[in-house]
């Protein structure tokens, strides 16, 4: 079903777009620095297959941290609850996404799977004999969630992050020293940077959000893509840690499970209702899309989307 342009969404996009000038595109991954800070687009995918959108929704974006929710779902399915949460915690940190601080002051186990340290441990848990095997397993799952077998990854972004990921390297070496990661660091970073570089457009993000919103079932054919418990755990992390050290404010102002990425993507899952995909690469100082957050705030107020 083609995605319909929506005049109402377009008005919200125009209002929120004014805030793009308050943000900056991420450039610590040099390739991401090439994005146009003025971009803003949104797609909403409903369980009956309908889709509405505004802005240039054909633009592809890399998932970055949005991928952390999906890798978590995969390892929960592959390894089970106990194995996963023996290695990564469940608590918000109140720290920036790439902080190393709490690893040393708390037990070395990362506090949650949405910060980089926790996500690296989650990626470490993806099963398979080689990086290629493990990446293909993750990619297959992403393609199934998005119902799009053409999804791949952006080699330039993956390489750009791999070559500049010294902070993530440091996190990995620290975690390896404490036996939380047991594989070599370079192949793990290769896998992680490919995971973060998986690319799709807003429609794909909205469709994946919709599957989480519908507790892991594809409502069009009734197929269960993940157990409802896994979808529930992922949505809970999206609420408590999805916006890092802005998660509390996000819960108050918007109040839906959502996950951001430094590419400017946001994936939202409005429980039982629909999925949202947003792309707005100008970021605030906490690494979240500045206009994307504004757009979600406008939508949440207008349609009373908050769960609380």
Is there a catalytic annotation at residue 46?
A: no
259 in active site: no
* Residue closer to ligand DON (CB basis): 61 or 225: 61
Position of minimal CB gap to ligand DON: 65
Residues paired with residue 270 on neighbouring β-strands, in sequence order = 274
Neighbours of 210 (CB within 10 A): 30
Q: Answer yes or no whether residue 262 interacts with ligand DON by CB under 6 A.
A: yes
Please provide residue 152's backbone torsions phi and psi, each rounded to the nearest 5 degrees.
-140, -160
Sign of CA dihedral 241, 245, 246, 251: positive
Nearer to ligand DON, 30 or 227 (CB): 30
Catalytic site includes residue 71: no
- Is residue 65 part of the annotated active site? The answer reads yes
* Least distance (Å) between residue 86 CB and ligand DON: 23
Q: Is 247 in the site for ligand DON (CB under 6 A)?
A: no
Name which of 84 and 189 has its Cβ closer to ligand DON. Answer: 189
**Cβ-count burial 126-164 (b if 16+ within 10 Å, e if not):** beeeebeebbeebbebbbbbbbeeebebbeebbbbbbeb
- Closest to ligand DON by CB, 74 or 119: 119
The residues, ordered by sequence, that sit 6+ positions from 294 with a Cβ below 8 Å of its Cβ are 15, 16, 19
Whether 262 is catalytic: yes
Q: Is 261 in the site for ligand DON (CB under 6 A)?
A: yes
Catalytic residue among 25, 131, 230, 262: 262
Q: Does 278 help bind ligand DON (rule: CB under 6 A)? A: no
Angle between helices 131-146 and 185-196 (to 10 degrees): 20
Q: Is 196 in the site for ligand DON (CB under 6 A)?
A: yes
∠ at Cα 194 (180, 182), nearest 5°? Answer: 15
CA–CA dist 13, 41 (Å, integer): 7
Q: Which residues bind ligand DON (CB under 6 A)?
A: 64-65, 97-98, 116, 161, 168, 196, 260-262, 287-288
User: Looking at the annotation, which residues are catalytic?
Assistant: 65, 68, 192, 244, 262
């Amino acid at each position: 079903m083609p995605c319909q342009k929506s005049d109402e969404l377009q008005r919200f996009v125009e209002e929120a777009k004014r805030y793009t000038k308050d943000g900056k595109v991420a450039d610590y991954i040099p390739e991401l620095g090439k994005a146009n800070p003025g971009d803003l687009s949104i797609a909403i995918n409903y369980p009956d297959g309908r889709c509405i959108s505004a802005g240039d929704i054909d633009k592809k974006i890399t998932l970055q941290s949005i991928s952390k929710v999906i890798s978590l779902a995969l390892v929960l399915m592959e390894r089970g609850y106990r194995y996963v949460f023996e290695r990564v915690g469940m608590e918000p940190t109140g720290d920036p996404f790439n902080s190393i601080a709490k690893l040393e002051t708390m037990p070395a186990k990362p506090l949650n799977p949405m910060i980089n340290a926790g996500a690296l441990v989650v990626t470490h848990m993806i099963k398979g004999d080689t990086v290629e095997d493990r990446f293909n397993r993750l990619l297959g799952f992403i393609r199934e969630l998005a119902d799009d077998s053409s999804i791949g990854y952006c080699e330039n972004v993956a390489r750009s992050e791999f070559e500049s990921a010294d902070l993530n390297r440091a996190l990995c070496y620290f975690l390896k020293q404490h036996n939380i990661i047991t594989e070599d660091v370079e192949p793990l970073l290769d896998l992680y940077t490919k995971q973060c570089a998986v690319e799709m457009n807003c429609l794909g993000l909205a469709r994946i959000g919709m599957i989480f919103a519908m507790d892991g079932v594809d409502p069009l054919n009734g197929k269960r893509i993940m157990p409802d418990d896994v979808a529930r755990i992922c949505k809970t992390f999206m609420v408590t840690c999805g916006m890092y050290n802005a998660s509390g404010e996000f819960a108050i102002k918007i109040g839906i499970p959502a996950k951001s990425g430094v590419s400017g993507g946001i994936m939202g899952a409005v429980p039982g209702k629909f999925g949202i995909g947003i792309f707005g690469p100008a970021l605030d100082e906490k690494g979240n899309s500045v206009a994307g957050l504004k757009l979600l705030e406008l939508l949440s107020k207008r349609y009373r989307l908050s769960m609380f």
